[in-house]
Structure 1
């Protein structure tokens, strides 16, 4: 009974976080897109955006989204919460259409249905899993090193590429860091639940701040470099996939097995296909 209640809280909170992040992304991209290209990846980008009320409102909504997702991760596993959190594109696209006074096409509706249906299929066969609360540092080191390598490769390449390619590469680096951020958030939530303020004696809260700040700068740079329909799908694809893999490898959360694993794989492919369809929306 208690496990079912915890799962229900995690599901509702994850969907609410996705909706809030969609609103935040639309607001922040609208503000960041007007910044000059040479402000990308520089702290002055933040300083300039702090003077824009629309960006500040989006930032506040983004913080709210993160807090709500933290609640979801306190009650549910990464393999449960992150696929639901990836639904933000389904919420964001109608908002973009409304802002530009355009109607969604049948193709876009099919993309949204594929995304939602794929996530539903993935979760329908997901076995109950709690995993471990706080992995050892040695378990984290390979993933921390891999994330650092990805960022150190993607960002310099993005600097030498124009337009949509730069947007996608910055967004990819942000997606990797956001997956790591979600994993650290789950660890910090578990440590806080067990130790209260004693969580500050662990490295995870400080790693969370560093990873979160860097991911935020990369995400804003991707919003500044090009349209939201390029950056958000990349983040939406890499963040849940990376988070699910980290949940399985670091937190020992269970995925489906045998035939159910095939269903999960097909659901994941359908969701990614839906995101790609939505990515091609004008």
Structure 2
């Protein structure tokens, strides 16, 4: 193994750890209640989560500089594996076997989806018209998912997690376009200053929106929504890559069958993680003693004889 591949692996593992710590911090905030933007901005833990997500993203980009997508992307999926024990530690419980099995199924399906997608050449990026079209289509999809998520209890959280993954994938695609324009690697040449500024604002909007959507999805449990975020992100990125960036599925019809089978495997993992949510079947244990019940007040008997009157003896 050469030094570049080793450095890509180390950066990918560090990126997964950063994303996992950020997800656990967001889950703790969700458990404390109060998910409004103003309330989150007033909490230091939220800013820790933002910083960890930013650090994870930077290390992921650096890993892609030193290693291929087929190596970096599967290692990035280890975020779920790292987040499970970290979340269980803060909840003072153990990771259940069902959670580990669900994580394994999810990672297997995600790896299969990534394996059949080929990366585009480094210079490929979206044009301005394509970026605006994706922005409009994504905004409609996110509005539908958010509206559905607010009217449903458990399934709604997974819808919000899907929206988070899609928003993050679009932010990544737009970021690639901005960086390619700044490096004058776009076929049509660099974008003008206002076009670059517009795309930068869209990147920030989708990135922050994805972060807030994931925050909302973690209310009630971390594992299943985090698994859906990790699935929706590369799936949406693959759709954009295949449709617009010159990426392709390997193996022709067999590749599509592999992708369908991998999606089924990942879906089974998400279902297992949903059923193993600690809030439903495995509530976190605490070291506080159980309160002792107060004894009930006994009724006084009514059939006792009346006391004899006291006899006064004169002195």
Q: Same fold (TM over 0.5)?
A: yes
Paired residues for 1:1-282 under 5 Å: 12-36=10-34, 40=35, 45-74=36-65, 81-123=72-114, 127=118, 129-130=120-121, 132-161=123-152, 163-194=153-184, 201=193, 202=196, 203-223=198-218, 225-258=219-252, 259-281=254-276, 282=278
Question: Residues 245 and 101 from structure 1, CA distance in 2 versus in 1: closer, same or farther, beyond 3 angstroms?
Answer: same
Question: Residues 174 and 212 from structure 1, CA distance in 2 versus in 1: closer, same or farther, beyond 3 angstroms?
Answer: same
- Quote the RMSD (CA, aligned, Å): 3.2
**Alpha-carbon distance between aligned partners in 1 of 2:73 and 2:241, rounded to the nearest angstrom:** 10
What TM-score, normalized to structure 1? 0.78
Partner secondary structure for residue 91 of structure 1: helix
- Offset, 1:211: 1.4
Partner secondary structure for residue 61 of structure 1: helix
**Alpha-carbon distance between aligned partners in 2 of 1:160 and 1:220, rounded to the nearest angstrom:** 17
- Offset, 1:120: 4.1
Question: Residues 143 and 113 from structure 1, CA distance in 2 versus in 1: closer, same or farther, beyond 3 angstroms?
Answer: same
More helix by share: 1
Question: Residues 214 and 78 from structure 1, CA distance in 2 versus in 1: closer, same or farther, beyond 3 angstroms?
Answer: farther
What TM-score, normalized to structure 2? 0.71
**Alpha-carbon distance between aligned partners in 1 of 2:246 and 2:5, rounded to the nearest angstrom:** 18
Partner secondary structure for residue 101 of structure 1: coil
Larger radius of gyration between Structure 1 and Structure 2: 2
Question: Residues 237 and 279 from structure 1, CA distance in 2 versus in 1: closer, same or farther, beyond 3 angstroms?
Answer: farther
Stretch moving more, 131-140 or 79-88: 79-88
Question: Residues 167 and 113 from structure 1, CA distance in 2 versus in 1: closer, same or farther, beyond 3 angstroms?
Answer: closer
**Alpha-carbon distance between aligned partners in 1 of 2:150 and 2:115, rounded to the nearest angstrom:** 41
**Alpha-carbon distance between aligned partners in 1 of 2:5 and 2:236, rounded to the nearest angstrom:** 21
- Structure 2 spans left out of the alignment, 5+ residues: 279-315
Stretch moving more, 85-94 or 67-76: 67-76
Stretch moving more, 99-108 or 257-266: 257-266
Question: Residues 263 and 219 from structure 1, CA distance in 2 versus in 1: closer, same or farther, beyond 3 angstroms?
Answer: closer
- Structure 1 spans left out of the alignment, 5+ residues: none
Which digits, 9 at most, give the CA deviation of each residue in 1:23-42, with x for residues without a partner?
10101220233233xxx4xx
Q: Is the 8 A contact 2:171 2:206 kept in 1?
A: yes
